[in-house]
Chains A and B, each alone.
Chain A
């Protein structure tokens, strides 16, 4: 940058002389950068502090989940897709299982559907808490990071009690959920909800009354509704721009049409509106969680069809979910037919009629869709994950262009991309 090192020249004089400064600087933000949410790389063209253009570069976390799914049985696919967007594992599992169930023409039992909604909404709160924590940290609110992760950990403890794992649960399976809620889980969640509600209110107050937080977010990263739709943006980002699009309401699954909740929308379409929308969404999710708890009636959590349901009797062990010892004894010593059936279901799995479906669910970041194709075999022919972060990231260049480089941080934080989902 010779202009800085040389003698100071008045810009007006330069312009008058026909010599406008043309140099811009290209810098890489990421892929290893604490403020880019994983391995997102932004190629920024800067004119001083001003962003001239921005190019997001993705792919550093590509793990070939879609290809892997084609080589595994239908049930095994659950364990792959859950790892895509690792902050919303239940949603990935749910979309995949709903798609497979539609191809099979079956529906999960009532209790399983309620449990699915229950864990999904808790997951939404956990995901939004991570966004609040990391977003706060990136703009200097370090205490928010500590609080957010603390509360998220409480939710992950609940997930661990239910599924055996903090993340990547593989809990929602084709035909229902893998096993019923453990004793005491309902009460535990019931106790957690008022506490979370109070904490979320506190965080809202901490940030909404913090002048730095407000200044760094208000009026930053505008995205108008038309532009958002053109870029395929969904979820809180789109709702913050005033479009009340929510798959739970528009194309209900798992009986969402019977739950009472508000589709939260903002008006401004800036980073601050996204903050408000997400905070309000957490409260709505807690509302749905309470309705789920009231609805839970005893009943099966998996379809009865032996050609679909997993043959084993599973229980949570020290390292996740596994076969119970009682069941192992049954198939190894008790019943030859049970052993044959178990072997067939484990190695070959469920056979799914040929066809294709696109199943959207409303994930924490927007429309999470699974386009699943079967050729009638025991493995998916194609599993395409339409991850909301992938589309949302495309809007970043237009949101940061013309702004300051420091605002790029606020904008990316408000997009809340999860690279595991973007790169799959």
Chain B
């Protein structure tokens, strides 16, 4: 849910705010991410103090290739705002926001796990849902579905479409 006050207020700092389908989105540079999120959180008229989720999307062949999105909402004002950061393929690094929102801990680990995006300064950036020794970042579009060998009774089985018997 968005309100006119939210849009006007955010637009003073982020003129490129986009409103679509009742959702407001701003794009910030990663060097400004922490300052922007802190401002949005601490401004009493916005009070975007609750981080619902962090995730990413992968657009191979485009620049920036990765978009990391932060879903913010306000407990008090009941409005939402999405903040997005674009990251290039060669340098998929973003600053961690765990200092502002402790809940970001696992969300950043998950995004790292699935997309290989490194959150600089994260206290414990390890894989979270996949096994520690996993190779690759499976939610990248360049990774195929089911394209890994499966261990079964000590041996490795190829994926279904590559089995010969």
**Chain A interface residues (CB < 8 Å from chain B):** 58-59, 62, 64, 66-68, 70-71, 102-103, 229-232, 243, 245, 250-251, 355-358, 360, 367, 369, 371, 373, 381-382, 384, 386, 390-391, 393-394, 423-424
Contacts of B53 in A (CB 8 A): 358, 369, 371, 384, 386
Docked-complex contact B23 and A358, CB < 8 angstroms: yes
Which A-chain residue is minimally distant from B74 (CB atoms)? A250
B1 at the binding interface (Cβ < 8 Å): yes
Contacts of B114 in A (CB 8 A): 66
Contact of A251 among B21, B51, B78 (CB under 8 A): B78
Docked-complex contact B103 and A386, CB < 8 angstroms: no
Docked-complex contact A394 and B106, CB < 8 angstroms: yes
A5 CB to closest chain B CB, in angstroms? 35
Docked-complex contact A358 and B71, CB < 8 angstroms: yes
A76 CB to closest chain B CB, in angstroms? 13
Contact of A58 among B50, B102, B129 (CB under 8 A): B129
Contacts of B22 in A (CB 8 A): 102
Docked-complex contact B102 and A231, CB < 8 angstroms: yes
A255 CB to closest chain B CB, in angstroms? 15
Docked-complex contact A66 and B52, CB < 8 angstroms: no
* Known A356-B23, A357-B21, A390-B110; further 16 A-B contacts with Cβ < 8 A: A59-B128, A62-B129, A62-B130, A102-B21, A230-B101, A231-B103, A232-B102, A250-B78, A357-B23, A358-B23, A358-B53, A358-B82, A369-B71, A384-B53, A386-B71, A394-B103
Contacts of B80 in A (CB 8 A): 251, 358
B31 CB to closest chain A CB, in angstroms? 24
B1 CB to closest chain A CB, in angstroms? 5
CA distance A177 to B99 in the complex (A): 43
| 25 sample A-B contacts, Cβ–Cβ < 8 Å, listed by A number | A59-B128, A59-B131, A68-B145, A71-B145, A102-B22, A230-B103, A231-B102, A232-B101, A232-B102, A243-B75, A356-B25, A356-B69, A358-B52, A358-B53, A358-B71, A358-B80, A358-B82, A360-B52, A367-B52, A371-B53, A381-B57, A384-B53, A386-B52, A390-B110, A423-B129
CA distance A384 to B51 in the complex (A): 15
Docked-complex contact A384 and B103, CB < 8 angstroms: no
Contacts of B52 in A (CB 8 A): 232, 358, 360, 367, 369, 386
Contact of A67 among B78, B110, B139 (CB under 8 A): B139
Contacts of B101 in A (CB 8 A): 230, 232
Interface size class of B (residues with CB under 8 A): 20 to 34
Secondary structure type dominating chain A contacts: mixed
Which A-chain residue is minimally distant from B58 (CB atoms)? A382
Contacts of B130 in A (CB 8 A): 59, 62
CA distance A381 to B141 in the complex (A): 9
CA distance A356 to B25 in the complex (A): 10
CA distance A283 to B127 in the complex (A): 40
Docked-complex contact B21 and A232, CB < 8 angstroms: no
Contacts of A373 in B (CB 8 A): 57
Contacts of B105 in A (CB 8 A): 394
Q: Which of B51, B52, B57 has the most CB of A within 10 A?
A: B52
Docked-complex contact B145 and A371, CB < 8 angstroms: no
B138 at the binding interface (Cβ < 8 Å): yes
Docked-complex contact B69 and A371, CB < 8 angstroms: yes
CA distance A199 to B19 in the complex (A): 48
- Complex interface residues of chain B between 48 and 91 (CB less than 8 A to chain A): 49-53, 55, 57, 69, 71, 75, 78, 80, 82
B21 CB to closest chain A CB, in angstroms? 5
Q: Which of B53, B57, B102, B145 has the most CB of A within 10 A?
A: B53
B155 at the binding interface (Cβ < 8 Å): no
B129 CB to closest chain A CB, in angstroms? 4
Docked-complex contact A64 and B102, CB < 8 angstroms: no
Which B-chain residue is minimally distant from A59 (CB atoms)? B129
A250 CB to closest chain B CB, in angstroms? 4
Contacts of B102 in A (CB 8 A): 230-232, 394
Docked-complex contact B139 and A58, CB < 8 angstroms: no
- Complex interface residues of chain B between 98 and 140 (CB less than 8 A to chain A): 101-103, 105-106, 110, 114, 127-131, 138-139
